[in-house]
A and B are shown apart, each in its own frame.
Chain A
Amino acid sequence: MNREQLSALMDGELEETQEPPLLARWSTDGDTARVWNEYHLIGDVLREHHIRHTCIGTRVSRALADEPTVLAPARRPPRPALPRWLAVAAAVSAVAVTTWTFQNNPPLPGTAPAFTATAPAPVAAPTQVAATTEAGPYVQMHRQWSPLSGFQTVDYTTEGPPSR
């Protein structure tokens, strides 16, 4: 089993020609599937999502194998789940709500990739944490000028015209 290839596949960076053999191995080789699941679990832990990993994969696979094939038209992808936010947000009028989670949404894959083809997962963790810490002040300043950003962060640290 090639862990580098697996990691690259997760990041969507594997060359197309390498995908079919790896996927074939993934479906037959238990070790590959296990490592795949582990990588995802590690990724989720690093991204601090609520961990919902269970060993459901094998059971679903088995159940699927026993099922007859059903041909059905493809489902249209659902639009992002907004209504529930709105229902809650509507209650906000007079308020001091300071935190809020995107509880209704899937994990944010934008936070990935925690893995790269060359760096194994455990090494990626400190790097991302370090980058997040280092980026902090810049992210804060970026928000202050983003047209989409809020106003409590509108800054008062401007010094004046840029110097040459």
Chain B
Amino acid sequence: MKAVWIAFWAGLGLLPLGAGAESPKEAVPDPVTLLQQLSTAAQQVSYSGIFVFQHDGSMEASRVVHSYDHGQELSRIDTLNGPPREILRSNDEMRCYFPDVRSIRLQRAEGRHFFPALIVPPLQAYADNYELFVTGQDRVAGHDCQIIALRPRDALRFAHEVCADLPSRLLLREVTLGPHGEPIQMSVFTEVTIGTHPDPAQFKPAYSGTDSWRQDTVPALGADPDHSGWVASNAPPGFHKVVEVRRTLPGGSGAVTHLVYSDGLASVSVFIEPASGTTRADRAESLPNALSYYSARRDEHQITVVGEVPLSAVTQIGQSVINLRSPHP
């Protein structure tokens, strides 16, 4: 097994020397360095496996294949239960296939990252908003891994725990912990092969005749993240807008502007829509599964905020939503 790893490191030769030169028996690096290695590994290590996402008493299993070769990053994710979904990513370009509705969506991968690439730059933001602890080791999908605990520095987010494969630093498990330390959601590999280059044929779409499918393009957030003018002017420290998109409510009952704020781990959605004839009572409530919900009418608009964060966070975000382009802010 050791020989395999030596070959892996020698062959890869692309990770930072600091990580490569280290033997597993050496002292564990500090948490920020570890997170840096996790972030790099998710991009630069080749792997394939099956992972599950568990939340709200349900579970979704997906197969993932990832390859990194001479700076070229390719990944593919297929859902294994529920409606079939296929996500193909080539560097920064992402194509999602929805065979049941004969639809393809194209978008920039920027702002959209999936397991196991959950730790993303800027890494200092994690240290700013969470206390980081390198706590111990565990075993996930047959691989020894290093646990890093992220405990929030304020009452505006929940704790997380990640476990990263020891030699490769690939993230193998992420657990979000509720206010009392109970797991509320988890993504975890159930089997994974690390360091083997997948067959390039695996990155071809599984469906043919997709020319006749409906094709949507989601524009990049790019240089104008506040295109709509809507912002949360007082989001908790470290939360930044990562998504701004216009979409339809499930059931097709009307268009809403959807913003997503994230601190790198927790994410909160803000929805803005015209306040229609039906008036909804203003609310700020904790929902099952550590979800918090805020809804209030602001002049001609209904502001709705949802996220796996404490109630105080959605309330703070919701109350601070303004439109920068509005003549009467």
Contact = CB atoms under 8 A, between A and B. Distances in A.
Interface of A: 47, 77, 80-82, 85-86, 89-102, 105-106, 108-113, 127-128, 131-132, 134-135, 137-142, 145-164
A92 B192 CA distance: 13
Contacts of B144: none
Nearest to B304: A138
Interface stretch (B5-13, B21-29, B73-81, B194-202): B73-81
Contacts of A108: 178, 182, 184, 288-290
Contacts of B258: 141, 145
Nearest to B174: A148
A96 B62 CA distance: 10
Contact of A86 (B60, B188, B288): B188
Given A85-B54, A128-B287, A141-B258, A158 B325 contact: no
A155 B247 CA distance: 10
Nearest to A127: B285
B63 to A, nearest CB: 9
Contacts of B57: 99-102
Contacts of B161: 80
A159 B218 CA distance: 8
A151 B87 contact: yes
The majority secondary structure among interface residues of chain B is strand
Contacts of B62: 150-151
Contacts of B105: 156, 158
A156 B217 CA distance: 10
Contact of B179 (A82, A85, A95, A110): A110
A154 B252 CA distance: 16
Contacts of A81: 183
B203 interface: no
A92 B60 CA distance: 10
Nearest to B83: A152
Contacts, number: 238
The 4 closest A-B pairs by CB, nearest first: A152-B82, A110-B290, A150-B60, A142-B269
Interface in B125-145: 138, 140-141
A101 B55 CA distance: 9
B268 to A, nearest CB: 8
A160 B105 CA distance: 11
B164 interface: no
Contacts of A150: 53, 55, 60, 62, 79, 82
B52 interface: yes
Contacts of B187: 148
Contacts of B174: 148
A106 B182 contact: yes
B287 A137 contact: no
B285 A128 contact: yes
Contact of A89 (B52, B138, B269): B52
B191 to A, nearest CB: 6
Contact of B251 (A90, A106, A137, A161): A137
Interface stretch (B32-40, B112-120, B204-212): B112-120
29 contacts: A89-B52, A89-B188, A89-B190, A92-B52, A95-B80, A95-B81, A98-B59, A98-B81, A102-B183, A105-B183, A109-B178, A111-B287, A127-B283, A134-B295, A135-B304, A146-B308, A148-B176, A148-B187, A148-B308, A150-B62, A151-B60, A151-B114, A152-B85, A154-B85, A156-B103, A158-B216, A162-B227, A162-B230, A164-B229
B246 A161 contact: yes
B61 interface: yes
B207 to A, nearest CB: 14
B47 interface: no
Contacts of B118: 147-148
A92 B190 contact: yes
B267 A145 contact: yes
A136 B186 CA distance: 21
A141 B247 contact: yes
Contacts of B306: 135, 138-139, 142
A85 B246 CA distance: 38
B184 A110 contact: yes
A111 B271 CA distance: 22
A130 B125 CA distance: 36
